């Protein structure tokens, strides 16, 4: 924590202690909400992990992304509640994120789920998986910060399976 932010915090707590208490209370309420959200997302990831059936891979990635955002918000709220006491949690969170994120972002084998990908999913930017047009739409919308309508892109991997059954 920098000296300037420390001085701002001290001056604010001296001149407007009520505002500081409200800020901490709001951060605490948000912390509790994000904690509950994190627990439900962890339970959902465990269901994906323990299921005997194959799950849609983009659902796993989307759930992990939501979990990462919820935990980041929790760390941010902890820092708001106790200024400077939890700064080291960011390093721990980044280490966990790199380890788990690497496991979640592995390439999907041909013929395995997902059979479709939402264009706002992280997998949609990978041209080898969704094709050139869908990857370019995803890249353009990310670069321009435009929302993508709920559109699915079917993947080429399951095509041989479909043709065998036809």
User: Do residues 148 and 119 lie in contact, with contact meaning Cβ atoms separated by under 8 Å?
Assistant: yes
Q: What is the pLDDT of residue 43?
A: 87
Q: What is the pLDDT of residue 109?
A: 44
Q: What is the rounded distance in angstroms from the CA atom of residue 38 to the CA atom of residue 44? A: 10
Q: What is the pLDDT of residue 53?
A: 47
Q: Residue-wise pLDDT tens for the chain (166 aa)?
A: 567 777 776 777 677 777 778 888 999 999 999 999 999 998 888 877 776 445 566 677 788 889 999 999 999 999 888 877 788 888 888 988 888 877 776 554 445 566 677 777 776 777 766 777 777 887 887 788 777 766 666 666 666 666 666 5
Q: Which residues contact 62 (CB under 8 A, 6 or more apart)?
A: 118, 121
- Give pLDDT tens digits for 127-165: 766 777 777 887 887 788 777 766 666 666 666 666 666
Q: What is the pLDDT of residue 54?
A: 53
Q: What is the pLDDT of residue 23?
A: 84
Q: What is the rounded distance in angstroms from the CA atom of residue 43 to the CA atom of residue 52? A: 16
Q: What is the rounded distance in angstroms from the CA atom of residue 92 to the CA atom of residue 76? A: 13
Q: What is the pLDDT of residue 96?
A: 87
User: Do residues 32 and 88 lie in contact, with contact meaning Cβ atoms separated by under 8 Å?
Assistant: no
Q: What is the rounded distance in angstroms from the CA atom of residue 109 to the CA atom of residue 150? A: 24
Give the DSSP H/E element, type plus range, for residue 154: strand 152-154
Q: What is the rounded distance in angstroms from the CA atom of residue 142 to the CA atom of residue 119? A: 10
């Amino acid at each position: 924590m920098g000296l300037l932010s420390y001085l701002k915090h001290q001056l604010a707590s001296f001149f407007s202690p009520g505002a500081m208490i409200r800020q901490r209370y709001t951060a605490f309420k948000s912390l509790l909400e994000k904690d509950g959200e994190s627990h439900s997302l962890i339970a959902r990831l465990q269901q994906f992990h323990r299921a005997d059936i194959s799950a849609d891979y983009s659902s796993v990635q989307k759930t992990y992304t939501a979990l990462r955002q919820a935990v980041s918000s929790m760390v941010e709220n902890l820092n708001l509640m106790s200024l400077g006491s939890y700064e080291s949690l960011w390093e721990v969170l980044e280490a966990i994120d790199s380890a788990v994120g690497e496991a979640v972002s592995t390439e999907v084998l041909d013929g395995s789920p997902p059979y479709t990908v939402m264009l706002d999913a992280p997998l949609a930017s990978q041209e080898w998986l969704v094709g050139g047009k869908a990857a370019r739409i995803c890249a353009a919308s990310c670069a321009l910060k435009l929302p993508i309508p709920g559109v699915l892109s079917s993947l080429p991997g399951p095509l041989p399976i479909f043709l065998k059954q036809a």
